[in-house]
């Protein structure tokens, strides 16, 4: 078992009223799964993803990731945990504009304090694997959306995460580019990476092994 | 990692070229100005600190009570020093000290030098290292003379000066002296300054004053032994005062002087050597005041502060653009510490570059700075370990604080919020506004200071001093001739010149001449059973006419009455001192038999600097005392020609003496050097402060306009006019300036009021000074931001909406 959410509640207080973002979420994810989270706008998909990614907290409930109880962890340990095991892919790619492709890929390794030679090897490996060696010295603005997302995924993968969290990874791409990205996800999943993606599209959801539907913060 | 940080820092700085440039310009100027100003400040503070025994050396000053209150003096009579040495325990060494000028000649050369007349202990007390000649006690014999390297070079060139014999003109006669040693040139930060040092006993008036306790004309320095505290000096000298000052104390009691809290009428106290440069006499007390150098350091700090505020404000305001980066880096595993270091690195880069440029600027501008600010500062005087350490610590602290604050702020943002770019740094706006208010308060404070200082200076410059300062040239009568003979020769030389109106002489100058020396002679006498003190001026015929002093009673000295030689002309203040209904019945008595009647009274005129009230003065024509300055009144036309004529005439009379003549208005202006120095300092400080504040304001307006582009678009679509929007954008800034004005004005008022208290003749501190500086600040602020705001307001709304 990779992670387990038990009775997760998340809310905000607005005008004296408690507005629930997540309500009693129970979820168990095994290693090697490919889960698609679906639901209308505002149903809490992204919130759920952020909670799983430990970017966001929650008010009630238990969250176990591997052997750790995330709800009891301090901020610093939590950060160490997701740094080690989780990779993020965003709809807006979120590449750093000031850095080249190569440097963008290298950055997570820098934060993990890997040695120079090791970093170079891994970056080269990744560029190779995604067929973007020729683009390594370009800046994100010089790439198409699909290429940027490719770099985004490569960056998420570079530190060998156990889990990839993707928030509408194809949302800003045209259908052909989107298909390519989804194929890539499927391939990664087959290589053993656990993936949780948020998506609006039935077609993309079908790539996954399991679909979770959310409505008003509840799983249905 | 470091390389990576540097690379990122470099790129992000390049990306925001405008802000980086504004930051670097602002910080460089501030660092440059701060380096120069703090150098000047530290230089002033370093005065007299280079003496190895400095901690144990003290200057003796006396405090006495007279009917008008308390008075202090650093001048003493010749017998005091030997008596102290003999009778007071714990005195290791002692020297008298008198600065004068003396003509030293060697072969053909004849040079007027600054001499310090001192006792033989002098060179073992003070650290003026001997470079050649006798190391131990160089002034052992009365025929010894010590030269500085510079003067040895002037007299002997490359030849060895030690052992040579030079002639010194003492008491009108050349006398041989043997050069026993050459000392290093006197450091610029020394209060004691000389070109030659000679034994005190050799000074012209030594013999006649050898037992005269009443004739006080030199200072006394003591070096105390370790077990003697300066506080013990007063009690230890009481018995010698009771013996030697009995008469004086008795007359003080008779005239109604009140004893001090210890019941004493006369006492001695000690002033630490390192306070000497900061001492001033005020209301009969010594005041040690280091506010001058601290004011300079304060201005340096304020300028630096303004530039740092700019940096912080720009960094924080720009952070909006970097939210995404921060969030992304965090999801990629950046720790807070790592982010902090990344941003701090950027600041560090900017700071180091600015510091480099600033240091370069300060080296480049050092010479101009020294001239403009009239300071002798140099890098080698300043380069002591303490000061270098201070600078290093200051730089590290500033980068840490100023660079660290925005870095800290950015690194602690939440991951998710920053990723979404949703963070409103509205709390930080308060910090920004506060900083800007402080910044503008400083600017307004400095502007007010500038305005008030300037007005006071103008007021003093244009004040009617009671004598003719435009048409009168004065110059020192240096040379070997008897001064009265020299003056007669001058009259003779210039006799046929129609532009030369009057010629006279006196033993003191008005204002500071080019020779830069001032003196003051005061004496007291008994008049109808009380003591009257008066300034004393030896004059020649025509002094009143030459200076256009106004006679209010009696007449001036006249060649027609030979008895005028023993008459006296006084001023109104002196007449008041006499208290006679008809001042012409009064007289000055030197003893019971010799009385000098008052023959004339002149209207009060400012013979001293304008920060003093007009004191009683008595002019006498005694030919026993030499004149030191000649005064020549010229016709208002052909002024330059007349000046040359005087110079030529003097060159004929004393070919070896340098002509140091100047018009009295120049001399008077020279007395304002202190004010002018402060004035230039504050003026340039306020200009820099304003420019820097404007840079900051400009940058902030740029950012705010960008942030509000959408709002501006929406408002325009709804129907707001360009004027509406410009007003909207300007309003917030004006509010800040207004608050600054309200804060700065009372502070400025307090400071300026304090400062003006130093002057008995002063301007009124009217509200207009404050309103004017407030207006000035407002106008400058408006101009700075208007360019950007008007442009933003007149933009096509569709365009501004599309940018969202």
State the DSSP string of B658-677. Answer: ----EEHHHHHHHTTHHHHH
Q: A212 pLDDT exceeds 70?
A: yes
B419 to A53: CB separation less than 8 angstroms, yes or no? no
Bridge partners for B173 per DSSP: B170
Q: B423 pLDDT exceeds 60?
A: no
Q: Is B404 part of a structural domain of the chain?
A: no
B93 CB-side CA count, 13 A: 16
Which residues are CB-neighbours of B423 under 8 A, at least 6 positions away? B320, B323, B413, B414, B417
Please write the tens of the pLDDT for every residue from B339-394.
Answer: 888 888 888 888 889 989 999 999 898 888 888 777 777 777 667 788 788 888 88
Tell me the chain B residues in contact with residue A103 when contact means C-beta distances shorter than 8 Å. Answer: 4, 7
Q: Is B623 part of a structural domain of the chain?
A: yes
Q: Which residues of A touch B (CB under 8 A)?
A: 50, 53, 55-56, 76, 79, 82-83, 88, 90, 94-99, 103, 106-108, 110-113, 155, 159
Instruction: Write the CA distances from B744 to A64, B186, B437, B443, B770, integer angstroms.
Output: 59, 43, 10, 9, 9
Q: Is B770 part of a structural domain of the chain?
A: no
Which residues are CB-neighbours of A182 under 8 A, at least 6 positions away? A170, A204, A207
Tell me the chain B residues in contact with residue A113 when contact means C-beta distances shorter than 8 Å. Answer: 1
CA B782 to chain centre: 36
Q: A211 pLDDT exceeds 90?
A: yes
Higher pLDDT, B412 or A95: A95
Confidence of residue B804 (pLDDT cuts 50, 70, 90): very low
Structure tokens at B502: 């009057």
For the ranges A180-194, B359-373, B712-726, the lowest mean pLDDT is seen at B712-726
Give the C-alpha separation, B714 to B64, whole Å: 80
Identity of the residue in A55, A94, A98 whose CB atom sits nearest the CB atom of B416: A55
Tell me the chain A residues in contact with residue B15 when contact means C-beta distances shorter than 8 Å. Answer: 98
Tell me the chain A residues in contact with residue B415 when contact means C-beta distances shorter than 8 Å. Answer: 55
Q: Is B704 part of a structural domain of the chain?
A: no
* Long-range own/partner contacts, residues B204-208 (CB < 8 A, 24 or more apart): B204/B170, B204/B171, B206/B78
Give CA angle at B604 (B599, B607), nearest 5°: 105
Outline where B708-721 has alpha helix (H).
709-718
CB-based contact B154:B116 (threshold 8 Å) = no
User: Residue A119: closest CA among chain B residues belongs to which residue?
Assistant: B1
A55 to B1: CB separation less than 8 angstroms, yes or no? no
Bridge partners for B105 per DSSP: B110, B167
Please write the tens of the pLDDT for every residue from B50-93.
Answer: 899 999 999 999 998 887 788 888 899 999 999 999 999 899 99
B797 CB-side CA count, 13 A: 13
Q: Name the average pLDDT for chain A.
A: 89
Tell me the chain B residues in contact with residue A106 when contact means C-beta distances shorter than 8 Å. Answer: 4
Confidence of residue B428 (pLDDT cuts 50, 70, 90): low
Which residues are CB-neighbours of B54 under 8 A, at least 6 positions away? B48, B127, B273, B274
Give the C-alpha separation, B191 to B273, whole Å: 9
B334 to A111: CB separation less than 8 angstroms, yes or no? yes
Pairing of strands A194-198, A210-215: unpaired
Structure tokens at B685: 């400080």
% helix, strand, coil for chain A, step of 5: 40, 25, 35
- The predicted structure's pLDDT at residue B330: 81
- Sheet with A17-29, strands from edge to edge, namely A17-29, A3-14, A60-65, A68-69
B329 to A99: CB separation less than 8 angstroms, yes or no? no
Confidence of residue B521 (pLDDT cuts 50, 70, 90): confident
Interface confidence, given as ipTM, is 0.72
Please write the tens of the pLDDT for every residue from A63-94.
Answer: 999 888 888 888 778 878 888 888 888 888 88
- How far off is chain B from A204, nearest CA to CA, in Å? 24
Mean pLDDT on B502-523: 85
Tell me the chain A residues in contact with residue B332 when contact means C-beta distances shorter than 8 Å. Answer: 83, 88, 107-108, 111, 155
Predicted model pTM: 0.76
Q: Which residues of B touch A (CB under 8 A)?
A: 1, 4, 7-8, 11-12, 15, 324-325, 327-335, 338, 415-416, 419
Other beta carbons within 10 angstroms of residue B520's beta carbon come to: 11
Give CA angle at B440 (B771, B452), nearest 5°: 40
Total domain count for chain B? 1
How buried is B462 (Cβ within 10 angstroms: 0-12 exposed, 13-18 middle, 19+ buried)? exposed
Give the C-alpha separation, B653 to B659, whole Å: 11
CB-based contact B52:B191 (threshold 8 Å) = no
Give the C-alpha separation, A186 to B624, whole Å: 118
Q: Name the average pLDDT for chain B.
A: 86
Identity of the residue in A88, A97, A99 whose CB atom sits nearest the CB atom of B331: A88
DSSP B517: -
- How far off is chain B from A13, nearest CA to CA, in Å? 17
Closest CA to B197 of B121, B152, B145, B133: B145
**What phi and psi, each to the nearest 5 degrees, are found at residue B180?**
-90, -25
Confidence of residue B561 (pLDDT cuts 50, 70, 90): confident
Q: Is B540 part of a structural domain of the chain?
A: yes
Pairing of strands A163-167, A194-198: parallel
**How many residues would you count in chain B?**
804
Q: Is B508 part of a structural domain of the chain?
A: yes
Please write the tens of the pLDDT for every residue from A96-139.
Answer: 887 899 988 888 888 777 888 999 999 999 999 888 899 999 99
Tell me the chain B residues in contact with residue A96 when contact means C-beta distances shorter than 8 Å. Answer: 325, 328-329
The domain in which residue B614 lies consists of 479-659
Helix axes B291-318, B426-462, angle to 10 degrees: 150
- The predicted structure's pLDDT at residue B180: 93
- The predicted structure's pLDDT at residue B801: 61
Structure tokens at A182: 């989804």
Closest CA to A182 of A163, A201, A156: A201
- The predicted structure's pLDDT at residue B179: 94
Give the C-alpha separation, A105 to A113, whole Å: 14
How buried is B710 (Cβ within 10 angstroms: 0-12 exposed, 13-18 middle, 19+ buried)? middle
Mean pLDDT on B170-176: 85
How buried is B465 (Cβ within 10 angstroms: 0-12 exposed, 13-18 middle, 19+ buried)? buried
**What phi and psi, each to the nearest 5 degrees, are found at residue B625?**
-105, 140
Tell me the chain A residues in contact with residue B419 when contact means C-beta distances shorter than 8 Å. Answer: 55, 90, 94
CB-based contact B629:B490 (threshold 8 Å) = no
B331 to A55: CB separation less than 8 angstroms, yes or no? yes
**Best residue in A79, A105, A140 to probe B by mutation, most B CBs within 10 Å?**
A79
B544 CB-side CA count, 13 A: 23
Structure tokens at B26: 């602002």
Confidence of residue B539 (pLDDT cuts 50, 70, 90): very high
Give the C-alpha separation, B213 to B103, whole Å: 28
Pairing of strands B216-224, B76-77: antiparallel
3-state secondary structure of B374: coil
**Best residue in A78, A88, A96 to probe B by mutation, most B CBs within 10 Å?**
A96
- How far off is chain B from A11, nearest CA to CA, in Å? 16
Which residues are CB-neighbours of A11 under 8 A, at least 6 positions away? A18, A19, A20, A21, A22, A59
Tell me the chain B residues in contact with residue A88 when contact means C-beta distances shorter than 8 Å. Answer: 331-332
Helix axes B336-373, B673-707, angle to 10 degrees: 150
Please write the tens of the pLDDT for every residue from B246-296.
Answer: 888 888 888 888 888 888 899 999 999 989 888 887 777 788 888 878 888
Structure tokens at B736: 């800040």
Q: Is B597 part of a structural domain of the chain?
A: yes
State the DSSP string of A173-206. Answer: S-HHHHHHHHHHHHHHHHTT-EEEEE-S-HHHHT
């Amino acid at each position: 078992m990779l992670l387990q959410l038990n009775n997760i509640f998340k809310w905000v207080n607005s005008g004296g009223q408690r507005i629930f973002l997540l309500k009693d979420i129970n979820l168990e994810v095994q290693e090697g799964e490919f889960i698609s989270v679906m639901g209308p706008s505002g149903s809490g998909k992204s919130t759920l993803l952020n909670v799983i990614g430990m970017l966001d907290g929650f008010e009630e409930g238990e969250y176990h990731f591997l052997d750790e109880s995330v709800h009891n962890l301090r901020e610093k340990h939590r950060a160490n945990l997701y740094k080690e095991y989780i990779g993020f892919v965003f709809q807006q790619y979120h590449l750093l504009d000031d850095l080249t492709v190569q440097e963008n890929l290298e950055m997570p390794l820098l934060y993990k304090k890997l040695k120079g030679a090791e970093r170079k090897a891994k970056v080269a490996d990744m560029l190779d694997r995604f067929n973007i060696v020729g683009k390594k010295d370009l800046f994100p603005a010089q790439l198409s959306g699909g290429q940027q997302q490719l770099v985004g995924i490569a960056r998420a993968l570079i530190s060998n995460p156990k889990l990839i969290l993707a928030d509408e990874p194809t949302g800003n791409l045209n259908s052909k580019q989107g298909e390519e990205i989804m194929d890539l996800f499927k391939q990664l999943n087959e290589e053993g990476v656990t993936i949780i993606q948020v998506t609006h599209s039935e077609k993309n959801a079908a790539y996954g092994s399991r679909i979770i539907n959310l409505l008003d913060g509840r799983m249905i | 990692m470091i390389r990576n940080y540097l690379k990122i820092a470099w790129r992000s700085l390049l990306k925001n070229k405008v802000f980086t440039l504004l930051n670097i310009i602002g910080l460089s100027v501030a660092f440059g100005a701060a380096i120069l100003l703090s150098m000047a400040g530290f230089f002033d503070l370093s005065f007299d600190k280079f003496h190895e025994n400095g901690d144990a050396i003290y200057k003796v000053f006396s405090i006495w009570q007279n009917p008008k209150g308390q008075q202090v003096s650093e001048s003493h009579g010749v017998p005091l020093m030997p008596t102290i040495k003999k009778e007071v325990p714990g005195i290791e060494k002692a020297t008298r000290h008198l600065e004068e000028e003396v003509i030293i000649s060697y072969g053909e050369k004849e040079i007027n030098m600054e001499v310090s007349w001192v006792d033989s202990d002098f060179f073992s007390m003070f650290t003026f290292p001997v470079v050649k000649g006798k190391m131990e006690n160089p002034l052992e014999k009365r025929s010894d003379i010590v030269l500085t390297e510079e003067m040895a070079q002037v007299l002997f060139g490359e030849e060895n000066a030690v052992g040579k014999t030079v002639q010194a003109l003492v008491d009108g006669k050349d006398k041989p002296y043997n050069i026993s040693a050459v000392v290093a040139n006197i450091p610029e930060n020394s209060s004691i300054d000389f070109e030659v040092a000679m034994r005190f006993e050799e000074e012209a008036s030594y013999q006649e004053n050898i037992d005269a306790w009443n004739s006080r004309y030199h200072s006394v320095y003591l070096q105390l032994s370790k077990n003697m505290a300066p506080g013990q000096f007063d009690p230890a000298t009481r018995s010698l005062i009771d013996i030697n000052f009995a008469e004086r104390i008795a007359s003080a009691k008779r005239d109604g002087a009140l004893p001090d809290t210890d019941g004493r009428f006369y006492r001695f106290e000690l002033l630490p050597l390192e306070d000497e440069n900061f001492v001033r006499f005020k209301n009969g007390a010594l005041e040690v005041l280091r506010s001058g150098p601290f004011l300079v350091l304060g201005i340096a700090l304020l300028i630096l502060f303004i530039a740092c505020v700019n940096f912080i404000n720009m960094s924080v305001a720009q952070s909006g653009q970097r939210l995404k980066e921060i969030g992304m880096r965090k999801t990629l595993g950046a720790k807070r510490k790592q982010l902090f270091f990344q941003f701090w690195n950027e600041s560090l880069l900017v700071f180091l570059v600015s510091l480099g440029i600033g240091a370069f600027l300060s080296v480049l501008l050092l010479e101009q700075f020294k001239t403009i600010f009239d300071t002798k500062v140099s890098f080698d005087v300043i380069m002591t370990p303490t000061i270098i350490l201070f600078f290093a610590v200051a730089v590290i602290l500033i980068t840490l604080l100023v660079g660290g604050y925005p870095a800290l702020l950015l690194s602690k943002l939440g991951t998710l919020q920053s990723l979404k770019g949703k963070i409103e740094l509205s709390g930080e706006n308060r910090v920004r506004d506060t900083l800007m208010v402080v910044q503008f308060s400083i600017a307004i404070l400095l502007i007010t200071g500038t305005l008030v200082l300037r007005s006071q200076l103008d007021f003093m410059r244009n004040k009617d001093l009671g004598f003719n300062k435009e048409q009168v040239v004065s110059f020192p009568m240096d040379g070997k001739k008897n001064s009265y003979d020299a003056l007669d020769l001058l009259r003779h030389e210039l006799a046929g010149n129609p532009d030369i109106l009057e010629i006279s002489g006196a033993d003191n100058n008005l204002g500071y001449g080019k020779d830069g020396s001032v003196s003051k002679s005061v004496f007291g006498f008994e008049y109808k059973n009380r003591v009257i003190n008066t300034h004393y001026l030896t004059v020649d015929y025509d002094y009143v006419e030459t200076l256009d002093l106004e006679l209010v009673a009696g007449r001036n000295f006249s060649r027609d009455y030979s008895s005028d030689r023993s008459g006296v002309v006084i001023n109104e203040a002196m007449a008041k001192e006499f208290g006679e209904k008809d001042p012409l019945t009064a007289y000055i008595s030197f003893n019971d038999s010799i009385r000098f009647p008052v023959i004339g009274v002149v209207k009060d005129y400012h013979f001293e600097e304008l920060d003093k009230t007009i004191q009683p003065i008595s002019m006498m024509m005694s030919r026993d005392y030499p004149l030191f300055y000649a005064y020549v009144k010229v016709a208002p036309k052909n002024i330059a020609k007349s000046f040359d004529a005087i110079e030529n005439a003097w060159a004929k009379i004393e070919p070896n003496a340098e002509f140091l003549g100047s018009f009295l208005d120049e001399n008077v202006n020279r007395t304002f050097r202190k004010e002018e120095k402060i004035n230039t300092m504050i003026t340039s400080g306020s200009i820099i402060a304003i420019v820097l504040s404007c840079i900051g304001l400009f940058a902030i307006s740029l950012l705010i306009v960008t942030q509000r582009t959408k709002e501006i678009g929406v408002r325009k679509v709804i129907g707001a006019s360009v004027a509406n929007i410009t007003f909207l954008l300007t309003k917030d800034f004006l509010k800040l300036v207004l608050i600054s004005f309200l804060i700065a004005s009372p502070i400025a008022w307090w400071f300026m009021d304090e400062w003006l208290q130093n002057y008995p003749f002063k301007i009124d501190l009217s509200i207009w000074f404050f309103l004017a500086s407030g207006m000035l600040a407002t106008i400058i602020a408006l101009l700075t931001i208007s360019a950007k705001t008007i442009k933003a307001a007149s933009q096509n709304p569709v365009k501004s909406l599309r940018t969202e």
